[in-house]
Amino acid sequence: MKQFLLVFIGGGLGSGFRFMLSKIPFFSFIKFPIPTLLSNILGCFILGLIFGYAIKNNHLNSPQTLLLATGFCGGLTTFSTFAYENVTIIKSGDITHAIIYTLLSLVLGLFAVYLGLFLSK
C-alpha cells in the first residue's frame, strides 16, 4: 500500500507540473506542441538522473525512486498526448511538422535519458 501511495502522489505532482507547463502563455502563440515535447524531454532527463543515481548508490527499489521515477516522471511524461497531437497535426495536413515532432521527441528523449544517466555518475 505504501508503494502505491508513493506512485500516486508522485504521479499527481508530475501531472500537475505538466498541466502548469501547458498553461505558460508564451506557448499559446506557437503552432507546435512545445509543452508536451518539453514535458517528455524533461521527464526523460529527470528519469535518467534518478536511475543513474539509484544504480550508482544501489537504491533502485527505494521509496524515493518509486515516488520520483515511476510516479513523478510517469505523470510528467505523456505518450498518449504525444500520439493525439501527432494525429491532429497529420489530419491538418502538416506531415512535415508531425515528422519533426516525432523525431525531436524520440532523439531528444533518448539524449535526455543518456545525459541524465551520465550526469548522475
Locus of grid cell 498526448: 81
Contacts of 59 (CB under 8 A, 6+ apart): 53, 65
Dist. CA 51–CA 118, nearest whole Å: 10
Residue 96 is which amino acid?
A: T
Tens digit of each residue's pLDDT (9 = 90 or more) over 52-107: 998 888 887 889 999 999 999 999 998 988 999 999 999 999 999 999 999 999 99
Of 81, 79, 75, 83, the closest CA to residue 17 belongs to 75
Tens digit of each residue's pLDDT (9 = 90 or more) over 16-48: 999 999 999 998 888 899 999 999 999 999 999
Q: What is the pTM of this model?
A: 0.86
